[in-house]
Structure 1
């Protein structure tokens, strides 16, 4: 089956759940406004199952509805950066055999983002879900710069330390701040003539490899990524750059 619709109670029933806020005080009329709004989006069988005030003149709604729209998933091309991950020993062996030195990796939450859980899970020794972080590998020199790092400071650090790979993390996406920061980092590396030399990797719960490629990055890793997947990508891509 390649053409599919959302699934609720029965196959192909097109059932979906939406949630949103409207800048109006809650009332039965507000519920009806939410229902009509979703109907105007093209949904049918619209039902407001939750509506309540969340602040003065703001209301939150949960709506059930059905969509007639289907998607042919066989036409979707979105290759993941994480594939056939090696274990820590195999990554270290690949780096030793093909690169012959430690790979220097710098990671940071850029811009004003202060959420370090994701970048720490990838870089810190303890890692994530029993998968050790890059600090534990023999083949990496890791610099975890933490949170709220200006892209100018990150690029300056990468240049001074001759970093091989940059892991830029963004959790906050409000008003496109993540896209703006990712773009600024890529453009500054280009301006400093460092982009071709440095592997540039984006990370965050809403990051996909497809989005990262559109932004000019070498790879993107989203929610659930294990440290070994990032380590494998860096090691393999660095090994490809070494003449045979």
Structure 2
């Protein structure tokens, strides 16, 4: 291994640089006991942590235990081969977003948002759409040139498509927090298929999904235009919508 190659490889940091120490949390389906703690340590060893120390164990009801394990791993990471979705558009201020929409569309941009399926968690969609926003940024309702229709939680896919048709939506934003048995992926694929059936390609609204468990690289696989993960702000979403409008062929209203 050359000096250049060695420098780009990284080892986790815990107490001292390059010591390889990491912290891992997980739940085992066992009542809390010394045996359960031993099982947690065994699992950590099998995952490559050596030594491994159970630093926290807490019962989660009568039949489960939550653990935090601290230990050393011997793996290296190479940032040069990491694959991520880089932001390929400029971040705009609300004023710039409004000006771009007005110039390009000559009307308000219509955004329909919802949590689909049985997902009742509206924190994500509200953070993007509601005027109070998230992380110090006002939501899309604040943007003068955007018309926002927030359908709330537990919206079925047919209801979402119907409302998007009625509102002549330019973009549909879907938030998914519930991920048991990959419900977020199944719901998203169902949603994208329904919109492709209901709209001709030139008239289909932008499909944007977001949630803490989404992989941003899965947009093509899920049939949507963009996937946003945790920490996304209203400004990022608004800037993306403007970017896509600016690069799309003009369509008469």
Specify if TM > 0.5.
yes
The question of whether the paired residues in 1 share the 8 Å contact of 2:56 and 2:68 is answered with yes
CA distance in 2, matches of 1:206, 1:25: 28
Task: Give the superposition deviation at 1:195.
Answer: 5.6
Q: Whole-Å Cα distance in 2 between the matches of residues 190 and 44 of structure 1?
A: 50
Q: Is the 2:193–2:223 contact (alpha carbons within 8 Å) kept by the matching residues of 1?
A: no
- The alpha-carbon deviation at position 234 of structure 1 amounts to 0.4
Compared with structure 1, are the counterparts of its residues 81 and 181 closer, same or farther at alpha carbon in structure 2 (3 Å cutoff)?
farther
Superposition deviation, residue 208 in structure 1: 4.2
* Cα drift, residue 166 of structure 1: 0.5
Q: Is the 8 A contact 1:170 1:178 kept in 2?
A: yes
Structure 2 match to 1:205: 212
Deviates more, 1:66-75 or 1:218-227: 218-227
Q: Which runs of 5+ in 1 are unaligned?
A: none
Measured on the aligned residues, the alpha-carbon RMSD in Å equals: 2.0
CA distance in structure 2 between the partners assigned to 1:216 and 1:177 by the alignment: 15
- Paired with 1:115 and 1:194, the residues of 2 have a C-alpha distance of 31
* TM-score of the superposed pair, with normalisation by structure 2: 0.88
Report which stretch shifted further, 225-234 or 194-203: 194-203
Residues 19, 129 of structure 1: alpha-carbon distance in 2 compared, 3 angstrom cutoff: closer
The answer on 1:116 being equivalent to 2:122 is yes
2:181 is aligned to 175
Aligned: 1:127 with 2:133: yes
Using structure 1 for the length normalisation, give the TM-score. 0.91
Quote the residue 2:10 is aligned against.
4
Identify the residue that residue 44 of structure 1 maps to in structure 2: 50
Structure 2: where are the runs of 5+ without partners? 1-6
Q: Which has the higher strand share?
A: 1
SS in 2 for 1:44: coil
Select which of 223, 228, 232 maps to 1:221.
228
Q: 1:82 to 1:229 in 2, by over 3 A?
A: farther
Residues 1:56 and 2:62 are matched in the alignment: yes
> In 2, Cα distance between the equivalents of 1:25 and 1:153?
44
* 2:89–2:243 contact (8 Å) kept in structure 1: no
